[in-house]
Structures are given as C-alpha cells and as structure tokens.
Structure 1
Amino acid sequence: MFNGNIVGNIDVASIAFWAFVLFFIGLIYYLRREDRREGFPLEDDLTGRSLGMGGPLLHAAPKTFKLPFGRGTVSTPTIGKEPFEIAGRRVSPFPGAPYVPTGNPLTDCIGPAAYAERSRLPDIDAFGNNRIVPMALEPSFSIARGDPDPRGMTVIGADGAVAGTVAEIWVDRSEHQVRYLEVVTAEGVHALAPMMMAKIRKSARQIVVDAINAAQFSGCPQVETPGQISRYEEDKISGYFGGGYLYANRARQEPLI
C-alpha cells in the first residue's frame, strides 16, 4: 500500500546511474557525428574510391559558421571531393606505401613539403590588424638591447654557399617575436625564411639556414601583397623550408645505413 513516502519508493542511485549512461551514450553519438565534419568521407588508399559517410545517422547536417571581422562564412562538411593531384608515384602497390616525387618536391605539396589549402587572407589579431608584418610597419617593435640585429647579415644555405642578405624582419604583433627573415638573393628575389630555422652567428654576422641550399632561396614561394602574408602563403613557405630537410639534396633522402 502506498504510504506517500515518494523517496522511500524510488531508487535514486539507480536513476542517477541510468541517467548518466543515457547521457554518455548521447554524448558519444553527438561527438561521433560532429567529428566527421572534416576528413570524411574516407577514401580507399589505392583506388581513391569513396567509402561513404556511414549513413545519415552517422554524420551531422552541414553547419555554417560566421567568421570574425566580416570575413564571410564557412560551411562544414564540404560537399563532394576536393580536386587534388599528388605529384608523385607509389614505390609499391600496397596501402600506406610512400610516394616518390615526380616534379619539384619543395613546391609540389608532397611529404614534409605538404601544405594546407588555408585562407587566402592574412591572419589577424584581436583588434582586426594583420598579425604578421614587416617591422618597418610596426614602429612599436625594436630589437632588444644586447641582441644582434639580423638586418644586413649574410645568409648561408645548407650547402655553405651565400644565399643573400637579410633586408627586413617580419614580426608577430600578437606574440611579440620574429617570425620571418626577408632575404634578398643575388637575383633580387625576396624570400621569407622562417626564423625558427635560422641560426645567428653574431661574431661573423652570418645567419645559417640549413633547411635548403643557397640556390633554392630564389624558388621560395612569394607573397602576393607586399607587406602582408596570408595563412595560405605561411603554410606554403613552411612547407618549402620544412621539405628541404628531406628534399634539399639527394643525400638527405637516402638511408643512414
């Protein structure tokens, strides 16, 4: 007979447990749908055949995001296959086999020289200003007292030859550090070399960039607009110099033993 004692007739611990189980199942279901907004549908590694999204219950409907500072919108997941041809051939016909470059590996977006199709607009700070700029455009920046000024120093490539001279420094307004060294080659090409790949020899007034050879500085990806660099151009430059640690010369591609 019901005596009016509600709590005494309900197993609160059991209700809490099953509520958590149902919530957790729902959370996993939601996250598995959301994480398919990028990188799907999967493709067969050998044939390129699409493996599908796994049914309507396993992928979420497209969602549109508003970009800050009036830069439009972006929707995910994208519809259809993104056109891209790999400038390389497989060394063996099995999944996961490495590719051998068939063109210029430093610019063909392959292996360590790969880059992403990022925005063609420059990265901006919290105030809407271009984040990475030449130091000449940011008078509040200066070289710290006691530190060597790279401008005017000679740049040496991985082969020990002279690549050019540093004409300008590109700084990051948000993180207050040097991002690129603008190197002018003998041919008059302006190449942006990542600062993290440079080693300064203060006494010799030299900067060694061992990622690529001296002659390869002239082939470095260029910025379209003087005084600013887009996110896409950042990735291409990083890929060019990063790929040099494998592709700059033949000896780097061979086994150590």
Structure 2
Amino acid sequence: MNAAHTGVFQDPALLSLYIFFAFFVGLVLYLHREGKREGYPLISDREGRVLATPIQGFPAVPDPKTYLLAHGHGTVSAPAQREERDMTGILKAYDAFPGASQIALGDPMQDGVGTASYALRADTPDLDWDHGAPKIVPLRAAPGWTIAEGDPEIRGRPLIGLDGKVAGTIVDLWVDKSDVLLRYVEAEVSGSGKRVIMPIGVVHWSGNGPVKCDTATCAQIAAAPTTAHPEQVTLREEDRISGYFGGGELYALPGDRESFV
C-alpha cells in the first residue's frame, strides 16, 4: 500500500486503539459523574459562610435518578436533599481557615463527634435477602440459632467497665443471620434495668471470668444510646451505637485523647 494513502481509517488496528481510548475516557468521565450522587455539591465548613456558587467540579452533578429498594420498600432518589445533623453548639472550628479542625464543645461520645461520629442513616433495620426480615436480632428472637457447642457462654456474667466497676449483666447476644456472626452483646445496666447493646469487638473475657468493656466506663455504659425496639436495631441506631463505643477508644478516659509525647 502506498504510504501517501495510509490513514487512520485504513488501519484497523490503529482505528480500534483510538475507539478504545475514546470509550475509556468517556467511561472514566461517566463513573466520575455518577460518583457525585452523594456528597455534592460541596458546601462551606466555615461557620456563617455560605458559598455563592455550589462547588461541583467537572463533570457536574448528574440529574436525579430514582432507585427501587429491595423487598418493595419504596424508592430513593440520588442526588437528593439529605437529612443532616445540626452541629450547632457541638463543634467549633479551631481556626477560620477552610478545612480547619473542629473542636468538640461538650462530651464527644454523647454528642457523636470526632471518632464517635455517626451519620443519619435510614432509621429502619437492615433486612435479609431471604425473607425481608431484620437480619440482626437477639438470640431470644432467632429460633434455631444457638451458641456453638464448645464456645463460651457469657450470658449471665457481670459486665465490667473500663474503670473496673460493675456496669451490669450480660443478658443476650445479637446475631447477624445473613453473615452468621455475633454482632452485639446485650447488657442490663445495674440499678436501672436499662438494656444496651455493644459491638462484640469492644468487649473481651477470659475463661469463666467477667466480660470487660474496653472502651467505656461504668457510667458511660449506663448512658449509652440504645434501640427503640427491644429486638431490632436500625441502621441509624447501629451507626450511633458503634460510633459511641468506638469513640470511647479515644474519649472514654481524659488522658486518652492526647499524645504520649
């Protein structure tokens, strides 16, 4: 073939390469745009500052799309105006520059800020795929589910707080029926009868000894957030409870939040 007449459209390999490049660039832009269905447009984090023009970047935020929820539980649109927590009087910027660290004005564990933060997720239980029923429930509400033979039975044991005081008694365990895992331990607080659930990862025990909470004192366990339903936990409650006890790793004791040096 004469070189003078050789071009892109006469070279199938080169044409295929250019088509692939164009497709790949379009795919990246499409995925980047779809990724802006949550969190955009950006808002200012400076107190009293409202942006004159919403920050969207390129490409812009996509048009709203409606999604069907599983088990016929309605629809959800994205992007959409989401319910946000009111942080007035809870946090204050360390300085006036954009992105400055936020300082907790009260008890971070109770206020749910810092490492104890939580989001306003749906206030409904997470459902299993088989029956559309709540998948995380206490063993007393899960017929056929038991502690495996040979595993320790901690129900009935005392619960000890981070300060070494007795906070209550372990009364049940909550199982995730979809993942076949124990998710929470449930304790009845001494003196009040209040029941709280704690992520199983923040407690430990040895042999036949008591169950010890690693991230909350006796008083903090008694003041922990709980569930509205005695045998169900919603997505929002899970986030709140996990944030509370997870945040105790840094906030439970006064000296824990500062550096060692």
Q: Is the TM value for this pair above 0.5? A: yes
Pairs aligned (count): 253
Out of 194, 201, 207, the residue aligned to residue 202 of structure 1 is 207
Name the % identity.
Answer: 38
Give the equivalent residue in structure 1 for 2:16: 16
**Pairwise CA distance, 1:80:** 7.7
Task: Check conservation: 2:161, 2:218, Cα contact below 8 A.
Answer: yes
Instruction: Give the deviation of 1:83 after TM superposition.
Output: 5.8
1:212-252 CA-to-partner distances (Å, cap 9, x unmatched) read: 10111111111111211111100000011011111112111
Q: Does structure 1 conserve the Cα–Cα contact (< 8 Å) formed by 2:66 and 2:76?
A: yes
**Greater shift after overlay, 97-106 or 32-41?**
97-106
**Unpaired segments ≥5 residues, structure 2:** 1-8
Q: Calculate the TM-score normalised by the size of structure 2.
A: 0.89
Is residue 192 from structure 1 mapped to residue 182 from structure 2 by the alignment?
Answer: no
Give yes or no for contact 1:37–1:60 (8 Å, CA) kept in 2: yes
Deviation at 1:159, TM superposition (A): 1.0
Q: Residues 43-62 of structure 1 correspond to what in structure 2 (within 5 A)?
A: 43-47=43-47, 48-50=49-51, 52-54=54-56, 58-62=60-64
Decide whether aligned partners of structure 1 residues 83 and 189 sit closer, same or farther in structure 2, where only a CA change above 3 A counts.
closer
1:4 alignment counterpart: none
Candidates 129, 132, 142, aligned match of 2:146: 142
User: How far 1:71 sits from its partner (Å)?
Assistant: 1.2
What do you get for the CA RMSD once the two structures are aligned? Answer: 2.5
* Deviation, structure 1 residue 59: 2.1
Alpha-carbon distance in 2 for matches of 1:176, 1:185: 27
Superposed CA deviations along residues 36-70 of structure 1, whole A, max 9, x for unmatched, are: 11111112333553452447952211001000112
Instruction: Tell me the residue number matched to 2:32.
Output: 32
Alpha-carbon distance in structure 2 between the residues aligned to 1:57 and 1:170: 44
Structure 2 residue 114 is matched with structure 1 residue 111: yes
Name the aligned partner's letter for residue 256 of structure 1: F
CA distance in 1, matches of 2:174, 2:81: 37
**Range with bigger deviation, 9-18 or 143-152:** 9-18
Contact 1:112 1:243 in 2 (8 A): yes
Partner of 1:233: 237
Classify the secondary structure of the residue corresponding to 2:205: strand
**Structure 1 residue 211 corresponds to structure 2 residue 218:** no
Relative distance call for 1:97 and 1:151 in structure 2 (3 A) is: same
Letter matched to residue 84 of structure 1: D
Tell me, in whole angstroms, the C-alpha distance in 2 between the residues paired with 1:241 and 1:55: 37
Aligned to 2:250: 246
C-alpha displacement at 1:103, in angstroms? 2.2
Q: Which amino acid aligns with 2:60?
A: L
CA shift for structure 1 position 120: 0.8
What pairs with 1:160-171 in structure 2 (closer than 5 Å)? 160-171=164-175
Distance (Å, rounded) in 2 between the aligned partners of 1:164 and 1:209: 11
Deviations 1:184-212 (A, max 9, x none): 111211010111111112232x1111111
